[in-house]
Amino acid sequence: MIYLTRKAEFSASHYYHNPALSAQENARLFGKCNNPNGHGHNYLLEVTVKGEVDPGTGMVLDLKQLKEVLNREVIEVLDHRFLNHEVAAFASRIPTTENIAVEIWRMLEGKLPAGRLHRIRLYETHDLFVDYYGEQG
């Protein structure tokens, strides 16, 4: 089994807010991330795919095809967007790093040219990242 990771970047803005909670609770839970005007990040995405090496090509999957899938399914949807207002998935879910990672998994699952999705790692900043392995609990 080989694990192959492809990186991609996108820039987006967001803010954290739950309308079901009070203003004080939102401020306490989310701190500066609750600013309703939003703020932005250069997100770094690592998509890890696992699979066996094809004996003919020597590859787990065609990286050109993986790049096209990533661009079409993820980057074009999220890049240079205000996530809360422009991405349907975040109309009802807070675009935290966790929820974006889970959503990216959902966007890609079943769409890979070969191999299986193993991990989505999403850096919000270089000091904060989330790993999602597709687990449900």
Partner 1 sequence: MSSIAHLTRRYYFSASHRLHNEALGEEENRRVYGKCNNPYGHGHNYALEVTVGGAVELATGMVVSLVDLDRVLGEEILERFDHANLNACRESFAARVPTSENLCQEIFRLLGDRWGREPALGNARLERVRLEETSANAFEIHHRDAEGTERSFSAFSVALW
CB of 60 to partner 1, least distance (A): 24
Q: Is 7 in the site for partner 1 (CB under 8 A)?
A: no
Per annotation, catalytic residue among 17, 41, 103, 124: 124
Interface pattern 70-109 for partner 1 (x via CB under 8 A): -----------------------xxxxxxx-xx-------
Residues contacting partner 1: total by CB under 8 A: 29
- Of 40-48, 51-59, 80-88, 120-128, the segment contacting partner 1 by CB under 8 A is 120-128
126 is catalytic: no
Report in angstroms the alpha-carbon separations of 42 from 3, 8, 79, 81, 117: 25, 10, 9, 11, 23
Between CA 119 and CA 124, with CA 121 as vertex, the angle to 5 degrees is 165
Q: What is the CA radius of gyration of the chain?
A: 17
Compare residues 102 and 112 and give the one whose CB is closer to partner 1. 102
Q: Is 47 in the site for partner 1 (CB under 8 A)?
A: no
80 is catalytic: yes
Sheet with 2-14, edge to edge strand ranges? 81-82, 2-14, 39-51, 116-125
| Residue 39, beta-bridge partner list | 14
CA distance 9 to 103: 16
Active site members: 33, 80, 124
